[in-house]
Amino acid sequence: MQLLLVVALVNCFTAVSGQAAKIVPALQLVQSHVRYVNQRVVAFNGNPSTGTLDAVNINQAADDLGHAVEYATRVAQASSQLSAQDSEAVSAAVISLRPDVEGLLKNIAAKRPAFDRVVIGLFSVSKQVQTTLTDEKALTIALGNAIASKLSGAYREAAPLLLNEFSMAFDAAIGAYVTQSE
């Protein structure tokens, strides 16, 4: 019985090989940055005495996340076409990333009032958050397109649907920061 369980578990974990061995760790790096930014956003409360520094730290973490996404994009672009097995491994890494990205975006949208309370110069940082979200969306779409172009078979066919879901999640978060006058 235990042997059967071990065999089943081993089959669940596809070995990462070939080009996937380069792309999957890059996606895991992105995921670690997403989780770090999310931790900072969740803790952010717009406190007048610490809010400016907290907002700057969140912005720096978001910039670092952007660099990780750019790196993953370069890795994907430099990769050759993926086999079915490698496509499965890369797709699994992308799907693993999805709930973290969606959670981060929902938390950022929910924190709009806190970001509105923090002023740098004459303006709240909410406009900077909107700009950062727009930039991160573009980077994410570029990464998604780079990965999709390397996938094979059904994974390539499904990629646009997943990419659209990422895009819609970004649009919802960006929409939370759009003011009526825009």
Residues 102-133 have pLDDT tens digits of 999 999 999 999 999 998 877 889 999 999 99
Please name the residues in contact with 116: beta carbons below 8 A apart, sequence gap of 6 or more.
46, 124, 126
The CA–CA distances, whole Å, from 130 to 108, 135, 145 equal 10, 9, 23
Helix segments in 44-125, DSSP class H: 51-78, 84-110, 112-117
> In sequence order, which residues have a C-beta less than 8 Å from that of residue 140 and are 6 or more positions away?
69, 101, 166, 167, 170
Q: What's the pLDDT score for residue 123? A: 81
Q: How far apart (Å, rounded) are the C-alpha atoms in residues 11 and 22?
A: 21
The conformation of residue 79, written as its DSSP 8-state character, comes to S
| Domains of the chain with CATH codes | 17-175 (1.20.190)
The confidence score (pLDDT) of residue 181 equals 55
Collect all residues with Cβ–Cβ distance below 8 Å to 4 and sequence separation of at least 6: none
Give the whole-angstrom CA distance, residue 62 versus residue 56.
10
pTM of the model: 0.87
Q: Is the pLDDT of residue 45 over 90?
A: yes
pLDDT at 120 (0 to 100): 82
Handedness of CA 110, 116, 120, 126 (dihedral sign): positive
**In 1-20, which positions are buried (b, 16+ CB within 10 angstroms) versus exposed (e)?**
eeeeeeeeeeeeeeebeebb
Name which residue leads in pLDDT, 13 or 85: 85
Distance CA 122, CA 174 (A): 21
pLDDT in tens, 65-107: 999 999 999 999 999 999 999 999 999 999 999 999 999 999 9
Residue 179, C-beta contacts closer than 8 angstroms, at least 6 positions apart: none
Q: Does position 10 have pLDDT exceeding 50, yes or no?
A: no
